[in-house]
A and B are shown apart, each in its own frame.
Chain A
Amino acid sequence: MTTLPTPKSGAVGPEVTPLLAASPQGRRRRPSGEPPPLPRPIGRSIRWYLLLGGLTATLWAGMSIPASLGVITRADLVVLQAIATVRTAWLTHLMLDANALTSQWVVRLVAWTTIAVLAGFRRFRHLAVYLLVFLAAGLLVSAMMLDLGRMRPAGIEILGPWLGYSQPSRPVAMLALALVGALYTLVPAGRWRNRGKWAVAVILGMACVARLYLAVDHPTDIATALIIGWPLAVVVFWLAVPNEAFPVSYSGLRKAHLDVRGQRGEAIVSALDRQLGLTVTQVEPFGLEASAGSTPLRLRARAADGGEVTLFGKLYAVSHLRSDRWYKMARTVIYGRLEDEKPFSTVRRLVEYEDHLLRLMRDAGLPTPRPYGFVEITPEREYLIVMEFFEGAREMRGEPVDDQVIRDALRVVRRMWDIGLAHRDIKPSNVLVRDGKVLLIDVSFAAVRPTPWRQAVDLADMMLTLALLSTPERVYQRALEVFAAQDVAEAFAACRSITVPTQLRALVRADGRDLVGQFRRLAPSRRPVPVQLWNIRRVGVTAMLLASLAVAVAVFAGYMKVAGLL
């Protein structure tokens, strides 16, 4: 009878390689109620904004009752009459000019400029949120104007132009939305955005003072419009494009990459210490140019011998999850039934899957990075997976490879075939060589029990990768040591341009040799495996996408009109 070892009680050391030093404190469970390493921040300003939103709702409720509307209106008129005592001809002229800031043309100019810049910089998420905020706020303003039906200031001469009901002030709300939207989608957070806030405040202040002077709006009309146009808009931006996940940056940093400095950097170190028992001394971005699906990191951890060991980490966030969903939908349209993959439902699932694949491959004896587990940075929003860093390994490109390396690489594919796995992204940058041994990295797209087509494509991609540094004949001969000739024939019967990873395709094209053709001539003849297979799901998804596109285009103009941008 086999018995399992009894777990030790209390804090135990890390389940990591003996090479690494356990954190002095060891792993520690986060007690209920204790915040996670990086709690989703609800800033003080956001709390104030939400409070202002509540006050607006209360004010509107009060205005729907004639008695309280009378009190509010009389109070408004007291303010307006006090302002009217300073009216002079030249000041009136000045205020009419200042009031022009709230004209539709100014709003459209700001809004369209923002839209153009967002589109130009391919910030489609910010653009979508900006448009939605405009539409939603515009509809809210229109709805409340109709619902409340408030008159313009009474008993006082109105000196400026106006249109329709007064509560809330539509021109002020739309100007605030245009400016605040531009600020939160175009200007990087920090010093420049803070300066921008002052600039926006000054512009809005001038416009509001002018409208009060001209008695076009009541003070409460302007107050509620400002709350809709500024705080509520900011809350929407905070929810939909939080700066920590979707930072506005012009520094060349990919939009998929998170900033690991400051609070997040500290949270990563703390999480690795408490959750994995790792003492990490340095966290830095690494290989960002090759990644858009996560934020790759190089971690320096304390080694058991007192020195330091390098680890590799991938930080996954909600934005990466969404990218993964859309990516898979696009692949379903392009590849159809052969790519029978489903999107992940949460970030946790995504990182759990990669951790599982790393362990599975490691257990199967494949030369993949050793997994150290993953840590929770922000629950359901950000997770960091940690694995071995292959020190001293080089990508399989540039330098010729010998028979031993070719044999080793093909055995890796053979092993994956035998245990029912497919890597699904074999290319020179994912196949490394160290001391004559092949190492395989980036298993995040791997599949367990993949389609036979996918496994065949893996073989073709590996053989092409090797042939770039050798000859097809040599690679073919080594392949016959671990694969049947029919297997190779199947691999190149499945091989199409779209099945080859972009990097490998580019290198094959640059190589100039007809590598695929040569492999096909070497292998037994076989009819091509069809790639473009249509099924109900693919037809449905494609039809849905096309219909969505058509509807979006058809109603775009209508939307712009509703949002007040036309």
Chain B
Amino acid sequence: MTARAGRGRRGERPRLTAGLAALLLAAAAAVTGCAAFSDAAPGCRQPLRLAIVAQSLPSASYLPCLRSLPQGWSTSGFRAAPGGTSFLLNSDRSPGHPVRVRLIPSCRPGDASPSPPRAPGVVTYTRLTSITPRFAGSLYDVFPGGCVSYSFDFALGSQISLMEQFEQAVGLYPRQQLRLILKHKLGVELGP
């Protein structure tokens, strides 16, 4: 018999705590907002990033993009996939009720009222589904090959400024212009 090492219980507890410590590190990374990495929508001055929006709906002659976000606004939930693109616009003056922006092949404005067009060749409609207690409804930009719909839901009182702000925040980028830029900068053909 001889000198022996430590006690059997030494190795047990540490592993659990080591695992918990590692999870804490992961948690720290998670809670620091890293989860929002892929959420931001492309800006109108970033044509190379906007190309993915064009690819999501090859028929669309216009592409939604961010001009500049007014103070208190942010974007999240950017999702580009075959069939269209969507993202959210959030305002700190209307928490929990973001504006949902979607590029889709077609819209059905139905009984929506025509509004001043937001770009050449675009027909814009507005439909309000509620005026009080909340100001809610949809805005449609209809153009050849596609449509951008905006679903909004604002509290009364600040709805006019919020409507103006989000309409200014989202621009429509001509596909033809993007095609030329991609050809010029990358030497690639965007497609139709």
Binding site for B on A (CB under 8 A): 66-67, 69-70, 73-74, 77, 122-125, 127-129, 131-132, 135-136, 139, 142-143, 145-146, 149-152, 154-155, 158, 161-166, 254-256, 286-287, 290-296, 298, 310, 312, 314, 322-327, 329-330, 368-369, 387-395, 425, 429-430, 432, 441-445, 501-502, 545, 548-549, 551-552, 554-556, 558-559, 561-563
- Contact A562 B79, beta carbon cutoff 8 Å: no
- When chains A and B are docked, how far (Å) is the Cα of A494 from the Cα of B53? 74
Q: Mark B57-79, 1 if CB is under 8 A from A, else 0.
A: 00000000000000000000011
A77-B188, A292-B8 known; A322+B14 contact, CB < 8 A? yes
Query: Taking the complex as formed, is B34 at the interface, i.e. its CB lies under 8 A from any CB of chain A?
Result: yes
Which B residues touch A563, using CB under 8 A?
26
Give residues 26-42 of B contacting A (CB, 8 Å).
26-27, 29-31, 34-35, 37-38, 40, 42
- When chains A and B are docked, how far (Å) is the Cα of A430 from the Cα of B5? 9
- Contact B186 A327, beta carbon cutoff 8 Å: no
Q: Mark B68-110, 1 if CB is under 8 A from A, else 0.
A: 0000000000111110000000000000000000000000000
Query: Taking the complex as formed, is B128 at the interface, i.e. its CB lies under 8 A from any CB of chain A?
Result: no
A390-B3, A442-B3 known; A548+B182 contact, CB < 8 A? no
Q: Mark B1-38, 1 if CB is under 8 A from A, else 0.
A: 11111111111111111111111111101110011011
Query: Taking the complex as formed, is B116 at the interface, i.e. its CB lies under 8 A from any CB of chain A?
Result: no
The residue among B1, B10, B79 with the most chain A CB atoms within 10 A of its own CB is: B1
* Minimum Cβ distance to chain A for residue B131 (Å): 37
Show 30 residue pairs from A and B whose CB-CB distance is below 8 angstroms, ordered by the A residue.
A70-B188, A74-B188, A123-B15, A124-B15, A124-B18, A142-B38, A149-B48, A149-B49, A154-B189, A154-B191, A155-B189, A155-B190, A162-B82, A166-B52, A255-B11, A287-B2, A291-B8, A292-B6, A292-B8, A292-B10, A293-B6, A369-B2, A387-B3, A390-B3, A429-B4, A441-B3, A442-B3, A442-B5, A445-B7, A556-B27
- Contact A327 B29, beta carbon cutoff 8 Å: no
- When chains A and B are docked, how far (Å) is the Cα of A164 from the Cα of B2? 64
- What 8 additional pairs, Cβ within 8 angstroms, besides A165-B52, A322-B18, A392-B1? A129-B22, A292-B12, A329-B17, A393-B2, A555-B30, A556-B23, A559-B27, A562-B30
- Contact B188 A558, beta carbon cutoff 8 Å: no
Query: Taking the complex as formed, is B126 at the interface, i.e. its CB lies under 8 A from any CB of chain A?
Result: no
Secondary structure of the B contact surface, majority rule: helix
- Contact A74 B187, beta carbon cutoff 8 Å: yes
Interface pairs A-B: 3 shortest CB-CB: A293-B6, A128-B22, A326-B14
* Minimum Cβ distance to chain A for residue B139 (Å): 25
Which A residues touch B20, using CB under 8 A?
548-549, 552
A70-B188, A163-B79 known; A323+B10 contact, CB < 8 A? yes
Of all chain A residues, which has the CB nearest B35? A562
- Contact A124 B1, beta carbon cutoff 8 Å: no
Which B residues touch A286, using CB under 8 A?
2
Of all chain A residues, which has the CB nearest B27? A555
- Contact B34 A139, beta carbon cutoff 8 Å: yes
- When chains A and B are docked, how far (Å) is the Cα of A559 from the Cα of B31? 9
- Contact A559 B7, beta carbon cutoff 8 Å: no
